Amino acid sequence: MKNFLILLVLGTLSFGSPSPAQQVEPNYEESGVPDYSLPDPLRFEAGGQVNHVEDWLERRKELVTLFEKHVYGKSPDWDGELHAETLFENPNFLAGKASRKGVRLHLKRNGREVFFDLLLFYPNTGQPVPAFLGLNFYGNHTLASDAQVPVTEAWIRNNEAMGSSGNRASEAGRGKRIPNWPYEAIISRGYGLVSLYYGEVDPDFDDGFRNGVHALYPEERRNEASWGSIAGWAWGLSRVMDFLESESWIQPEKVAVLGHSRLGKAALWAGAVDTRFALVISNNSGCGGAALSRRKYGETVARINRSFPHWFAANFNQYNENEAALPIDQHQLLALMAPRPVYVASGVEDRWADPRGEFLSCVAASPVYALFGLQGMPVTAQPPVDEPEMGHIGYHVRSGGHGLLPYDWEQYLDFADMHF
Ligand code: GCU
């Protein structure tokens, strides 16, 4: 018994002084958040206050350049040709209430071509409608219960190297993601929905720029500030927008871009660089998305760079365990949406994405909305679970964990109704 107690005490002691492996456990305690001060969105790098909307437009350019250089990398200006091919069309979807169609977007540049397939749903109102646009994780067929929507072959085109990277599309997934993309509810509220598989835009693995949209720009070698996959996904969303501008069923000036998790990071970056997106929604985007990097809560800059080296510009590595040196933080990314509305949503159990850091980011972006005479985040204390707050910045922390759920969509629809 005595020996047992000694062992127990020793065991406790060894927990008290963590081994190196234990020291790198993510921090999930508020008391473990370091002291930090955030860079001011309304202060020029050279000093000098942003006092007017005209100043902000200059400051905005400065911030975009900083995010390009230090975080996401700079995407090329599109100088190729876009061609849309209709794959299938069903004007009698949902017993005639809606239309559904499949469109393949071909992007050609200097003899090279990539394509990605869009799945479009819209109400048969006879009038152009506002719409949501978002990348999906597992393929368009996961948003369809019938066989008309084919399983993507991006895996085959992009070779087996993707095999190890997860999120492989397969027939087994057909219809499985409809709860995450509740098109019936979206349509009945008078909105369209456009979705596409992110792996067709840029496969989610470190391929040295050979596949996806990167392949259109072979002269853009991987360097410290070149575009990573998040920027590639965002760039693809802009090409979809190019196409949507020519569609008669949609109001292109009322397109909300939305994404979950890594695709929430991509939606935010798309909204930052392309102001045609009239409303921007980040669902559980976390580190490198809506959450403040300086809090080092849950996923950190070092962790994300080590796990996903292809997502960001290589320069972002300079800030591993060195967040205070970042010239920007993610509240300034949210501020880049101003005066357009932006919504940030967290899941209370999704601590990896730092729900509180996402909320504080909304608060810290609000002075830029105030410059436009608009209310950003209406409150400064994090709202209780399942109690959304909506100004020109919207926020909720819902019960449950990581995911894009019908509850989230209800808030996005309300927020879109409020602003469109
Ligand atoms: C990982 C990653 C997150 C990301 C998430 C996702 O958890 O660490 O940064 O948001 O995957 O995309 O689901």
CB 413 within 8 A of CB 189: yes
CB 91 within 8 A of CB 247: no
Residue 176 three-state SS: coil
Residue 206, pLDDT score = 84
CB 235 within 8 A of CB 257: no
Q: How far is the centre of ligand 1, averaged over its atoms, from the C-alpha of 219 (Å)?
A: 30
Residue 412, pLDDT score = 99
* pLDDT tens-place values along the chain, 420 residues long: 333 333 333 333 333 333 343 447 999 999 999 999 999 999 999 999 999 999 999 999 999 999 999 999 999 999 999 999 999 999 999 999 999 999 999 999 999 999 999 999 999 999 999 999 999 999 999 999 999 999 998 876 765 555 445 556 789 999 999 999 999 999 999 999 999 999 999 999 887 878 899 999 998 877 899 999 999 999 999 999 999 999 999 999 999 999 999 999 999 999 999 999 999 999 999 999 999 999 999 999 999 999 999 999 999 999 999 999 999 999 999 999 999 999 999 999 999 999 999 999 999 999 999 999 999 999 999 999 999 999 999 999 999 999 999 999 999 999 999 999
From CA 120, how far away is CA 100, in angstroms rounded? 5
List of residues 6+ apart from 393 with CB closer than 8 A = 334, 341, 342, 343, 344, 362, 365, 366, 369, 376, 377
Q: How far is the centre of ligand 1, averaged over its atoms, from the C-alpha of 265 (Å)?
A: 10
Residue 13, pLDDT score = 30
Beta strand pairing call for 393-398 and 389-390: antiparallel
Residue among 352, 402, 404 to mutate when testing ligand 1 (max atoms within 8 A of CB)? 352
Q: Which residues line ligand 1 (CB under 6 A)?
A: 261-262, 286-287, 299, 304, 307, 352
Q: How far is the centre of ligand 1, averaged over its atoms, from the C-alpha of 131 (Å)?
A: 26
Residue 159, pLDDT score = 57
Residue 21, pLDDT score = 39
**Structure-block tokens of residue 175:** 């219809």
From CA 107, how far away is CA 83, in angstroms rounded? 7
List of residues 6+ apart from 49 with CB closer than 8 A = 42, 43, 55
Q: Which residues are catalytic?
A: 261, 402
**Structure-block tokens of residue 386:** 């399942």
**Structure-block tokens of residue 72:** 């996401």
Q: How far is the centre of ligand 1, averaged over its atoms, from the C-alpha of 108 (Å)?
A: 31
From CA 290, how far away is CA 365, in angstroms rounded? 10
Residue 405 three-state SS: coil
- For residue 303, give the ligand 1 atom closest to its CA: 8
Going from the N-terminus, what domains does the chain have, and what CATH number goes with each? 1-14+27-420 (3.40.50.1820)
